[in-house]
């Protein structure tokens, strides 16, 4: 009632596209305390519910004790606020940067006004903790003698390894890339999550006793049967890394790439590639007419990265309709608000080229190439969404609405289909119809004794914060299994 919602102004788009650094500016502690004071300290807070409502996350999946640390920051008790934050969140420095903040969508203050700036406060707390030296390596007081292998070093694998290590188990994390971090290192661009932030956490976990083995693909460089023989438990956290393809005419043309090829190569180029890499270091967008197919976060990252390369133009195709400016009638609080948002990449493109790069209700029909087999055009058609016989909404082409977009580089950012097959087939892991690892409802154990799964491998493509929650949950089950066997 006394303070309005305030967030720090970002670095201007024309300035930030000239470099790869983070562009969110910090707030003063006085401003942060004022924003913490806006928290209503609800008797029944919805901000940390972490539930699915109509297919969207509502509230914080890791059940952060948000009202508690908001109040502590308001009272200038930062160290105590840090303790409450770390009680539920292994890596606030990641979620404070890349989480879409479903907690704010469910904030009670947002029911009739503006939500509390939860995400900004969270990031400020953890970064002050690092600056003040409050965050130090914490080795477990005892060792159980049990050995656990965690496959994959993304957010689920890191959270699982962190919890199991603190429980006293000897944890080894296997990563097929040359650096640990998984999605955090190679999937999220540097301007959203600078890689020194990831390295800082990896270094801390290493100092706490966790062993990281990189450039080792389990199932290829390290056979699955040997893995099982040498560990008391295994947790599969390899992610949902099979990209969704677009098999239309002209798909074989040069210049068409999956988004992660583009983003991963760009990050490798920034942080220093390795001669061991099997793929090109960088797919460049410099001077090119770029078409991004897919309207999610990955597509936005492709837009922003293309701008920093110095592309000639960039267009983002979205098959779905544009969301409304305000909550629609069927999307009440505390559901995640399905409203139109101009994300950082679109904001930058609009500033540079004078208009939003997104084209909604656009279906890609055909890729057209030149004499040398290089992509030159993308043929698209406008669609409208209509219910079929079962009431399911389906896209229907509008006759005469075809347009052709010039293109030198096409990036496919249409999501992911599930985990890769090799290791799972080698181990004989049961799968769901959609290829996810099969576990019992709300549990993490696979059909193989002592083998567990967490993160996108188990639940499908999702948020970093859900991956952390999955890693924590799997670690708890593994610990119960190991100590029961002890």
DSSP secondary structure string for all residues of 191-208: TTS-HHHHHHHHHHHHHT
- Cα(1)–Cα(37) distance, rounded to whole angstroms? 9
Please name the helix (run of DSSP H) or strand (run of DSSP E) that holds residue 53, with its range, or none.
strand 51-53
At 236, is the secondary structure helix, strand, or coil? strand
pLDDT tens-digit readout, 132-163: 999 999 999 999 999 999 999 999 999 999 99
Residue 185 makes CB contacts below 8 A (sequence gap 6+) with: 153, 177, 179, 195, 198, 267
What is the average per-residue pLDDT within 4-29? Answer: 95
| 20: phi then psi, degrees, rounded to nearest 5 | -110, 15
Q: Which pLDDT does position 23 carry in this prediction? A: 96
pLDDT tens-digit readout, 337-395: 999 999 999 999 999 999 999 999 999 999 999 989 999 999 999 999 999 888 899 99
pLDDT tens-digit readout, 393-420: 999 999 999 999 999 999 999 999 999 9
- Cα(114)–Cα(178) distance, rounded to whole angstroms? 43
Residue ranges of the chain assigned to CATH 1.10.1060.10: 13-131
Q: Which fold has domain 13-131?
A: Fumarate Reductase Iron-sulfur Protein; Chain B, domain 2 (1.10.1060)
pLDDT tens-digit readout, 31-63: 999 999 999 888 889 999 998 888 889 999 999
CATH for 147-242+417-485, among 3.40.50.720, 3.50.50.60, 3.20.20.70, 3.40.50.10190? 3.50.50.60
Residue (of 209, 137, 205) closest to 168 by Cα position: 209
Q: Which fold has domain 245-414?
A: FAD/NAD(P)-binding domain (3.50.50)
CB of 476 closer than 8 Å to CB of 163: yes
Residue ranges of the chain assigned to CATH 3.50.50.60: 147-242+417-485, 245-414
């Amino acid at each position: 009632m006394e303070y309005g919602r305030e967030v720090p102004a970002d670095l201007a788009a024309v300035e930030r596209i000239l470099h790869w650094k983070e562009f969110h500016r910090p707030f003063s502690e006085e401003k942060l305390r004022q924003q913490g004071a806006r928290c209503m300290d609800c008797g029944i807070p919805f901000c940390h519910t972490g539930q699915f409502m109509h297919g969207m996350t509502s509230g914080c999946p890791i059940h952060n004790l948000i009202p508690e640390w908001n109040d502590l920051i308001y009272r200038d008790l930062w160290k105590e606020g840090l303790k409450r934050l770390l009680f539920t969140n292994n890596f606030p420095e990641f979620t404070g940067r890349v989480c879409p903040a479903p907690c704010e969508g469910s904030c009670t203050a947002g029911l009739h006004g503006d939500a509390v700036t939860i995400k900004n406060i969270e990031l400020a707390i953890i970064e002050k903790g690092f600056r003040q030296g409050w965050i130090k390596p914490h080795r477990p007081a005892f060792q159980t003698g049990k050995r656990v292998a965690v496959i994959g070093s993304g957010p689920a694998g890191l959270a699982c390894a962190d919890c199991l290590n603190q429980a006293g188990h000897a944890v080894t994390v296997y990563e097929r890339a040359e650096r640990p971090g998984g999605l955090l290192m190679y999937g999220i661009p540097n301007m959203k999550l600078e890689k020194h932030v990831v390295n800082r956490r990896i270094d801390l976990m290493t100092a706490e006793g966790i062993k990281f083995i990189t450039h080792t693909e389990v199932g290829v460089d390290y056979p699955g049967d040997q893995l099982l023989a040498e560990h008391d438990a295994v947790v599969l956290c390899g992610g949902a890394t099979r990209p969704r393809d677009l098999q239309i005419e002209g798909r074989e043309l040069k210049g068409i790439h999956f988004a992660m090829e583009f983003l991963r190569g760009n990050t490798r180029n920034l942080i220093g590639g390795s001669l061991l890499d099997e793929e090109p270091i960088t797919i460049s967008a410099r001077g090119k007419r770029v078409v991004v197919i897919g309207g999610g976060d990955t597509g936005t990252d492709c837009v922003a990265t293309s701008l920093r390369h110095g592309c000639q133009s960039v267009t983002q195709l979205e098959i779905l309709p544009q969301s409304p400016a305000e909550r629609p009638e069927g999307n009440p609080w505390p559901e995640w608000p399905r409203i139109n948002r101009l994300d950082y990449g679109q904001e930058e493109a609009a500033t540079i080229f004078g208009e939003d790069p997104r084209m909604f209700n656009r279906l890609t029909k055909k890729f057209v190439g030149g004499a040398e087999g290089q992509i030159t055009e993308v043929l698209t058609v406008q669609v409208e969404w209509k219910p079929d016989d079962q009431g399911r909404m389906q896209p229907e082409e509008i006759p005469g609405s075809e347009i052709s977009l010039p293109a030198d580089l096409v990036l496919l950012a249409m999501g992911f289909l599930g985990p890769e097959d090799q290791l799972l087939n080698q181990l004989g892991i049961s799968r769901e119809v959609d290829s996810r690892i099969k576990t019992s409802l709300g549990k993490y154990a696979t059909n193989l004794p002592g083998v567990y799964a967490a993160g996108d491998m188990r639940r499908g493509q999702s948020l970093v914060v859900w991956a952390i929650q999955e890693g924590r949950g799997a670690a708890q089950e593994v610990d119960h299994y190991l100590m029961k066997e002890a």
